[in-house]
Amino acid sequence: MALEEYKRKRDFRKTPEPEGKVAPKRAERFFCVQKHLASHLHYDFRLEHNGVLLSWAVPKGPSLDPRTKRLAMHVEDHPVDYGEFEGVIPEGYGAGIVMLWDRGTWTPETDDVDAALKKGDLKFTLNGYKLKGSWVLVRTGGRYAGARGGGDRSWLLIKHRDDWSGDLDITEFAPRSVKSDGDFEDILGEDTPAIWQSHRPAKGGDAGAMLATIIERAARLKSTARTKATRDADVENARAARTKDTKETKDTKGKPARRKTQTPAIAQSKKKK
Ligand code: MN
C-alpha cells in the first residue's frame, strides 16, 4: 500500500512534523457530499481536516467527466458532527433540506494539505459510495471574481482521468441519499425528521417564508424528475431514429460512424432498438 511506503520513507525525513499532527499525513479521513435544497439547490462538498470539515458549495454537483470542471465556492468550515447530518434546517442560514448524498473517506495525494490549500491546488483520492478515484480542487485565481461574490473563494472541482471517471451523469444517475435512500420529499416526510438548528441568522428577510418555499420546491422537484424521465425517453427515441436515418443517407455510407457529440453513457445503456 502507498501509505505503508509513505510511512517507511517518512522515517528518513529530516523535517520534523508540525505540532499536533501525529496521525500519518496521508491517512484516510471522512468526506461527504450533502445535497442541499436551500435558496439554491447545491452540493456541499466536505473534507475532514484538522478536526473540521473543509467545505465547498458546488452548484451543479460533482462531475465524473474530467472535461467538466465544476465551480466550487469555498465556504466556512463545518463541525465534523455535521457530516453525517441529513434532515431539515428549519430557519436561519442554510434553511432547507439536507440530504447525505455521498460519504466515505478521502486521502490527500500530498504530504502537506495546508500548503496545498494555500497554494490552491489540492489533489486527493475519494472512496465514497458514488465518488471514487482521483480528484483535484483548484483555486481559479479570481477568474470568476465577478460572479456572485467571487474572488479567491472560487475553486474548480475536477475529476482526474482514471477507472472511476466517465461521462455518466452521477447526480442524475444516483440522485438519492446514501443514508436513507430517500429524496428531499422523503426526508421531509419522515415522522420525525432530524433537525439542525442554524446558529447564524439568515441574510435579509429570508428567514420566515424560506421553509414553506422549500417544501413546495421539494414537491415540484419530484414531479419535475418524473417529467424529465419521460422527456429523456423521448429524446432517446428521437436520437435512435436520427441515427437510423443517418445510416441510410448516401453520403455517410461507407464512412465509419462518427458522432460530433458523445451520447451519454446512461442513454446508451437504456437504448434497446
Ligand atoms: Mn449548503
For 183-210, the pLDDT digits (tens) are 998 998 877 778 887 766 555 445 445 6
* CB-based contact 157:131 (threshold 8 Å): no
Residue 142: the pLDDT is: 58
- pLDDT score of 178 more than 50: yes
On the CB side of 146, how many CA atoms lie within 13 Å of its CA?
A: 0
Domain for residue 136, yes or no? yes
CA distance 104 to 179: 11
The parent domain of residue 62 ranges over 24-240
Domain for residue 158, yes or no? yes
CA distance 218 to 224: 10
Residue 158 alpha carbon to ligand 1 centre in Å: 19
Residue 143 alpha carbon to ligand 1 centre in Å: 22
Residue 229: other Cβ atoms inside 10 A: 10
Residue 98: other Cβ atoms inside 10 A: 24
Cell of 160: 482526474
Residue 33 alpha carbon to ligand 1 centre in Å: 10
- pLDDT score of 252 more than 50: no
Domain for residue 1, yes or no? no
Domain for residue 11, yes or no? no
Residue 93 alpha carbon to ligand 1 centre in Å: 9
CA distance 70 to 84: 23
> What residue type is 12 in one-letter code?
F
Residue 102 alpha carbon to ligand 1 centre in Å: 14
Strand, helix or coil at 26?
coil
Per-residue confidence at 261, pLDDT binned at 50, 70, 90?
very low
* CB-based contact 138:158 (threshold 8 Å): yes
Domain for residue 271, yes or no? no
The whole-model pTM stands at 0.68
Cell of 139: 483555486
Residue 255: the pLDDT is: 43
50 exposure class (CB count in 10 Å sphere: 0-12, 13-18, 19+): exposed
Domain for residue 3, yes or no? no
CA distance 165 to 184: 27
Percent of the chain with pLDDT over 70: 63
On the CB side of 49, how many CA atoms lie within 13 Å of its CA?
A: 21
Domain for residue 246, yes or no? no
Cell of 151: 474572488
Domain for residue 42, yes or no? yes
Residue 59 alpha carbon to ligand 1 centre in Å: 9
Give the number of domains in the chain. Answer: 1
Residue 160 alpha carbon to ligand 1 centre in Å: 25
Residue 36 alpha carbon to ligand 1 centre in Å: 5
* CB-based contact 92:198 (threshold 8 Å): yes
On the CB side of 255, how many CA atoms lie within 13 Å of its CA?
A: 10
